[in-house]
Amino acid sequence: MSNQSSYFRRLFAKRTVFILVATVAIIFSSITANFAQVTSDKINDKEVSRTIAPVVSTESLSKHIKHLASSDLQGRRSGTEGCEKAAEYIIAQFKQYGVKPGSGEGFLQGFEFIAGVKQGQNTSLKAKSAGQDIEFQLSQDFQPYNFSSSGSVSGQIVLAGYGISAPGINYDDYSKIDVKDKIVMLLPFSPEGNNLHGKFADYLSARRKALTARERGAKAVIFISEADNLKDIRTRDDGNYSDAGIIALRMSKRAANELLKSAGKNVDGLQKSGSETGLGETITLDKVNLAINTEVVREVRKTYNVLGLLEGVDEKLKKEVIVLGAHYDHLGMGGAESLAVGVEGIHHGADDNASGTAGLLELARVLSENKQTLRRSVLFAAFSGEELGLLGSAHYVNKSPSFPLSQTVAMLNMDMIGRMKSDNLVVGGIGTSPQWKIMVEELNKARGFVLKLQEDGYGPSDHASFYGKDIPVLFFFTGVHDDYHKPTDTADRINVVSEQAIVTMVQEITTKLASQDARIEFTRAKVEGERRQMNSSFRVYVGSVPDYAEQVEGIKLSGVRPGSPAEKAGLKSGDVIVGLAGKTIKSVYDYTYVLQELQPNQTVEVIIMREGQKVTLQLTPTARQ
């Protein structure tokens, strides 16, 4: 090394040039990589230029997923700061790609929802028992249920066993008692205890027992808990706060025994006294007068869909739109939908659904860089409230679509596309257009996914809201996994390479739909058997499709299945069912429970509200296959 300096000078000079060249090359390639490349080829000696579509980037996908699933966004529960931060991030990306605001209100489309309930200060429970005044403590001795009505009632208590009326299994606690205008008190669970696989499994839910008591005219229902102090138990609310139409309280065993002793009874003794067919004896606590006051405050919060628009270049076709969707909300710290029971913690939701949201953002980038090929418009819809019951997409289709639904050519939904295993890709909604199967299989030739094609347009994500409005839909999904709805659904477990390929397929389908002359057709999916029915405890098939998002008194239908008993009865999308088989229907829960009691081929009355008019129809459910 004698003369180092000159050596270095020479070396430095060479290296500087090299670095310079390399830098220019990298900048050039990344620019060209992202922007539509125009290359020219010689075909039959004629110079022709060809546009190569910009490419979905795994780096960008990773970047978006890491940010959306970061602890800073706190699991993105609708109505929380973390969720709003996610919305801001999405808007910032849209702006960067030159995507325009997609709703009449700008990028954000706001809607309200019930985020939770809390007790108002007037909630109280007092008793006069054998001349003694007793005041019970909220949260310790008693606690109104989230679905409880607000109001004041007072009167005598009638014990109604476990509050189960199940003629189908020859058991009825109400067979020998009249509870009209009474306060009903119920023992915990069932004669078989809290056996989720026993013959009373379908009758254990407090909501169902509340409906049964309400339908028999009770003015309030008290559920005795097994705990002496309610503070000792962790209660899981079902996340559905709709009013069940009756005052409903949980009461500690200690408080219940305080009241029962006026009749020389106690909870343990009563549990032993039950019979196979129901309550053996009628017990009225006639030395007790109970005064209940509940003030259940339903906490309304606002959340936002984030909508970005890429207007089509064709004067006529730009009035038609393809909606690309992905929900960006998740569970926050857990809540009713969490599958990590007893674990409080940030549910990062990397796969559910930061993966789909990242796909949506990448599609916004690559399509806007290639917008000259898009004759129809493309709407990028990041929905909120999906985890709470498809609230955002339902709000979009029911309340304020950015384009007339009749001008909505198709909706492509990405929900959990980040955990592909052995190339398996579920594509749902195939039966909603005759063009889908050919198109998807054709495009898959270059990808080689193991396709699981599903016909149905309904399903547990936002595409269902659009299918309910007769719009062709596709649903992209890589399947459930052990981290689903748990804090362990983290960014480091995402298979971003496969996700890049899935998003590229969505890019190709979108480009095709946006540039071809004809719109694709819509067909109602033929779903074999009734595998879609809500759950296995149904004896009958009806074929109605409830709209879980609509907060109405009763149950609004987002559709009925072709050829189903519901269709034959004359039910249709938009109808609100308020009565069934002689029972009042106030919520999707009431509807579920009454459906479970129907018998095949036995015609029942169904009462609906249609355009403000009450209409009675005859419904004959069929046997479930």
Helix or strand or coil: residue 550?
coil
- To 10 degrees, the CA torsion angle through 390, 393, 396, 397? -90
**Least gap, CB of 416 to Zn ion (angstroms):** 6
**Least gap, CB of 399 to Zn ion (angstroms):** 22
Given the complex with Zn ion, which of 353 and 533 has the nearer CB atom? 353
Given the complex with Zn ion, which of 415 and 550 has the nearer CB atom? 415
The C-alpha atoms of residue 246 and residue 393 are separated, in whole angstroms, by: 30
**Least gap, CB of 491 to Zn ion (angstroms):** 16
**Contact yes or no for 213/179 (Cβ under 8 A):** yes
Given the complex with Zn ion, which of 457 and 621 has the nearer CB atom? 457
**Least gap, CB of 471 to Zn ion (angstroms):** 20
Binding site for Zn ion (CB under 5 A): 352-353, 415
**Least gap, CB of 327 to Zn ion (angstroms):** 6
Given the complex with Zn ion, which of 161 and 487 has the nearer CB atom? 487
The C-alpha atoms of residue 525 and residue 12 are separated, in whole angstroms, by: 69
Q: H-helix or E-strand containing 6?
A: helix 4-34
Given the complex with Zn ion, which of 173 and 352 has the nearer CB atom? 352
The C-alpha atoms of residue 395 and residue 401 are separated, in whole angstroms, by: 8
**Least gap, CB of 485 to Zn ion (angstroms):** 9
The C-alpha atoms of residue 167 and residue 160 are separated, in whole angstroms, by: 16
**Least gap, CB of 462 to Zn ion (angstroms):** 9
Residue type at 605? E
Given the complex with Zn ion, which of 352 and 590 has the nearer CB atom? 352
**Residue 594 phi, psi dihedral angles, 5° rounding:** -70, -35
Given the complex with Zn ion, which of 393 and 498 has the nearer CB atom? 393
Given the complex with Zn ion, which of 161 and 457 has the nearer CB atom? 457
The C-alpha atoms of residue 246 and residue 142 are separated, in whole angstroms, by: 16
**Least gap, CB of 437 to Zn ion (angstroms):** 25
The C-alpha atoms of residue 212 and residue 175 are separated, in whole angstroms, by: 12
Given the complex with Zn ion, which of 258 and 387 has the nearer CB atom? 387
Given the complex with Zn ion, which of 246 and 412 has the nearer CB atom? 412
Q: In angstroms, what CA-CA distances link 279 with 164, 172, 206, 212, 274?
A: 9, 7, 18, 15, 6
- Side-chain half-sphere CA neighbours of 535 within 13 A: 8
**Contact yes or no for 543/566 (Cβ under 8 A):** yes
Given the complex with Zn ion, which of 150 and 338 has the nearer CB atom? 338
The set of residues, in sequence order, having a beta carbon less than 8 Å from that of 16 and lying 6+ positions away, is none
Given the complex with Zn ion, which of 349 and 579 has the nearer CB atom? 349
**Residue 413 phi, psi dihedral angles, 5° rounding:** -115, 130
Q: Report, in this order, helix, strand and coil percent for the chain, each rounded to 5.
A: 30, 30, 40
What token pair was written down for 346?
């940030």
**Contact yes or no for 415/440 (Cβ under 8 A):** no
**Least gap, CB of 353 to Zn ion (angstroms):** 4
Residue type at 68? L
The set of residues, in sequence order, having a beta carbon less than 8 Å from that of 164 and lying 6+ positions away, is 171, 172, 173, 190, 200, 203, 209, 212, 278
The C-alpha atoms of residue 419 and residue 159 are separated, in whole angstroms, by: 52
Angle, CA of 398, 404 and 407, to the nearest 5°: 130
**Least gap, CB of 395 to Zn ion (angstroms):** 17
The C-alpha atoms of residue 189 and residue 416 are separated, in whole angstroms, by: 36
What token pair was written down for 554?
């009763």
Tell the residue number behind the tokens 């009431």, with chain if given: 590
Given the complex with Zn ion, which of 353 and 592 has the nearer CB atom? 353
Q: In angstroms, what CA-CA distances link 458 with 45, 526, 547, 549?
A: 52, 11, 11, 14
Given the complex with Zn ion, which of 419 and 561 has the nearer CB atom? 419
**Least gap, CB of 219 to Zn ion (angstroms):** 40
**Least gap, CB of 493 to Zn ion (angstroms):** 15
Say whether the peptide bond before residue 353 is cis (omega within 30 degrees of 0): yes
Given the complex with Zn ion, which of 352 and 550 has the nearer CB atom? 352
**Least gap, CB of 275 to Zn ion (angstroms):** 46
**Least gap, CB of 352 to Zn ion (angstroms):** 4
Of 500, 414, 357, 515, residue with least CA distance to 54: 500
The C-alpha atoms of residue 192 and residue 175 are separated, in whole angstroms, by: 19
**Least gap, CB of 344 to Zn ion (angstroms):** 20
The C-alpha atoms of residue 452 and residue 111 are separated, in whole angstroms, by: 35
Q: H-helix or E-strand containing 9?
A: helix 4-34
